[in-house]
Amino acid sequence: MPSPTICVIDDHQDIRSALVEMLQLADYRVTAFSSAKDALETLDRNFTGIVISDIRMPNMDGFELLSRLQKLDSDLPVLLITGHGDVQMAISAIRSGAYDFIEKPFRREHLLEVIKRALDKRQLVCENRRLKDAIASQNKESIIGQSSAINSLKEKITRLAKADVNTLIRGETGTGKELTARRLHEQSDRHKGPFVAINCAALPESMMEVELFGHEAGAFTDAKKTRIGKFEYAHQGTIFLDEVESIPLALAIKILRVLQERQVERLGSNQSINIDIRVIAATKVDLKKLSEQGAFREDLYYRLNVVELYLPPLRERDQDVAMLFRYFVSQASGRFNVPAPELSVHIIDTLMQHDWPGNVRELINVAERFVLTDTLIDQHTLASWQSDTDQQSLPKRLERYEKRLIEEALLQSQGSIKLTYQALGIARKTLYDKLTKYGLDRHRFIDDQ
């Protein structure tokens, strides 16, 4: 997102020049015009700054300009300035949609304060629009995020999707293992075939074999008609075995045979049925360690783990927390048909201090609660959910929090050094020192779109 620019419009050259000089000395980018018509030709919905305009001007006055700009972008902050204002004119300006009304002669400090607030508001609007565009562009990917960990995962998914090999997805609860499996399927040559998801932990052991392999009519009591199993149903598609560590050892040998021979036999049948499937398994535990302990068949582990994908927990992708939360707030707002509450800096700070032991699933729940109640659980409650792994010293925890805040500021400013140190309230040199300390590259946060 380009750096914001202040558009100044005044037909008096002396006033215009003085205002431009004042803003440039305050380190703002400024463009100036002597007429509203000339300014309108350069402004569009993608303009990231604000407009400051005189009211009394020939041909097109400030009120008509405001009306035109409202049609162009109702969220564009417009500050109207006049030396002939009164209370009624001020009220009329605000009712017409002006962000603020300033009467000449104005105090420099007051004007700069109003400008700062207007630019902050505009930055938030542009950021939300950019977020919506980013989410829309990622809808096909279904995996939301811009962190290096997630970008690396997306690249791996794209490469592995075409490989058509058995894949093991490993990640904590709530990291999006099924979402990743679906994306592998959707990007593969099997995308026209079925995607069949099985949660192995949710099936009773007595039902798992029937569910996976199917049965013939009369195979057992109550088997009144033939039933196709999930392996057979997934023919020419993908079968996803979630929480694969829950598969009983007695059933594992039958599943291994399916993976080796690509054939399945329904219960009560002696006939083998050829199937063409890709198997994607997911686990939240170390399957290799389980197999070494005898709790999982080692040969099945190696058959499933031709390729392994690791899904990082949310605490390892801090940069994505705010973006994901905004996305889930937007989704919940639409689903519950209520306006989305505004996200304050305090809320972002609260979110980024949390470790999210429940990962994305926990973040979704918090977003829905936020939309429904317009309040966010407080820091004390969030802290009580922290995992035992957060037993770090105070300096380490402060450094971690500081890094998160800098990353969030870089994300919001699209890598702009100036906007970042202004948002954080620190000196430019201090920011550069922090970037070096935490190994942060501002170019990672620049949107090239």
pLDDT 10s digits, 22-58: 999 888 999 999 999 999 989 988 898 999 998 888 8
Question: How far apart are alpha carbons 185 and 239 in whole angstroms?
Answer: 9
Q: What percent of the chain has pLDDT over 70?
A: 88
pLDDT value of residue 189: 93
Amino acid occupying residue 414: Q
pLDDT at 122 over 80: yes
pLDDT value of residue 388: 34
**Which residues on adjacent β-strands are paired with residue 278?**
238
| Per-residue confidence band for 387, with pLDDT thresholds at 50, 70 and 90 | very low
Confidence (pTM): 0.59
Question: How far apart are alpha carbons 122 and 25 in whole angstroms?
Answer: 21
pLDDT one-digit tens code per residue, 321-336:
888 888 888 888 888 8
Question: How far apart are alpha carbons 61 and 57 in whole angstroms?
Answer: 5
Report H helices in 337-416: 345-353, 359-373, 379-384, 394-412
pLDDT at 361 over 70: yes
Domain boundaries, the chain: 5-137, 148-312, 315-445
Same fold, 5-137 and 148-312: yes
Comparing 112-116, 236-240, 289-293, 393-397, the range with the smallest average pLDDT is 393-397
Question: How far apart are alpha carbons 430 and 313 in whole angstroms?
Answer: 30
| Tokens 């000449």 found at | 104
Q: Please choose, from the candidates 76, 75, 93, the residue with its C-alpha nearest in 3D space to the C-alpha of residue 84.
A: 93
Q: What percent of the chain has pLDDT over 90?
A: 35
| Per-residue confidence band for 377, with pLDDT thresholds at 50, 70 and 90 | low
Question: How far apart are alpha carbons 359 and 355 in whole angstroms?
Answer: 8
pLDDT at 66 over 60: yes
The mean per-residue pLDDT over the stretch 5-28 comes to 90
pLDDT value of residue 1: 45
Question: How far apart are alpha carbons 436 and 347 in whole angstroms?
Answer: 27
pLDDT one-digit tens code per residue, 174-199:
999 999 999 999 999 999 999 999 99
**More reliable by pLDDT, 39 or 387:** 39
pLDDT value of residue 375: 60
5-137 classified as CATH 3.10.100.10:
no
For 148-312, CATH number? Answer: 3.40.50.300
Mean pLDDT of the residues in the chain: 84
The mean per-residue pLDDT over the stretch 254-281 comes to 92
Question: How far apart are alpha carbons 197 and 440 in whole angstroms?
Answer: 39
pLDDT value of residue 448: 47
